Amino acid sequence: MASGLIHSLLGLLLLLPWALGASYGQQENIAGSGFLSAFSYEAIADPTHGRVNYVDAGTARSQNLTFASSDTFVLRADSKTTLSASGPGRNSVRIVSNRQYTTGVMIFNIRHMPQGCGTWPAVWTVGSNWPNNGEIDILEGVNDQGPNQGTLHTNSGCTMPASRSETGTPLQNNCDVAATGNSGCGVRFNDGNSYGPALNNVGGGWYAMERTNSAIKIWFWPRNSGSVPSQVRDGATSINTDTWGTPVANFPSTSCPISSKFGPHNIVINLTFCGDWAGAVYGNSGCPSSCVDFVNNNPSAFTNAFFDFAWLKTYA
């Protein structure tokens, strides 16, 4: 009998990691000035060719483009300077996490995101040697044209099934940037409050991304939602994503070997203007003038072009 009991217990122990696969413990609690130590500034030429001048840490702080309090981190663009057509773009900020991440969960508690014609804000993760280690866009859009879009970008050999368990609407199912003109495989969110002025009008909300070797999933809950899980709302020290309901975007490994298409990722938070996406669709956005002219000549239009993060928590 003792031998049988031991074998039963061993069997349960072997099953336990699988059974608790959706359970995670908090790894980081990044809030306020914690963002300044957890991220570094990237004063680089914009890879997406935007009308932007990404500044270094000293410039960002002296121009008040980033600032923090105990429970607030703000990242914003310059809203005072009229630009010369022959000079650099609008001062803004791009930060990248010092830490890299593989499997696990990230929850972003966002009170406000950048809005305005010509804006292209994003919260995303990316690996080195793009696109060979993949990219995951969690919050992204342009020219105040919501709702949000969650997208994967990879090299060849990663596609998504046409039908899968998600509440959003798939846009393309081939994640290969070379095959899609860098569109990747996106999912349009179903909640109009998930992006831009509509998100800001309800006080923001929570974005969560779970990455495992079997799927990448993204959830969103607006601030005024009655269905936000208490684990998410409260930033609990332990979470179980199986209790969160159907994700908005679900990218399974059915025809995409996630473990080989996605390497270690850094989190990137940035705000650019015009460029490859916002500039390309600007004429259809209902915005005035041309994108570059508008960004150059209307600094006050970017008073609300800022992120306000309450916190970012990671789980493993």
Q: What are phi and psi of 9, to 5 degrees?
A: -65, -40
Contact 111, 309 (CB under 8 A): yes
Contact 167, 190 (CB under 8 A): yes
- Say whether 210 is catalytic: no
- Say whether 135 is catalytic: yes
Burial zone of 95 (CB within 10 Å; 0-12 exposed, 13-18 middle, 19+ buried): buried
Q: d(Cα 57, Cα 60) in Å, to the nearest integer? A: 5
Q: d(Cα 316, Cα 314) in Å, to the nearest integer? A: 7
Contact 92, 272 (CB under 8 A): yes
Instruction: Write down the catalytic residue from 42, 135, 166, 210.
Output: 135
Contact 148, 220 (CB under 8 A): yes
Q: d(Cα 41, Cα 18) in Å, to the nearest integer? A: 38
Enumerate the active-site residues: 135, 140
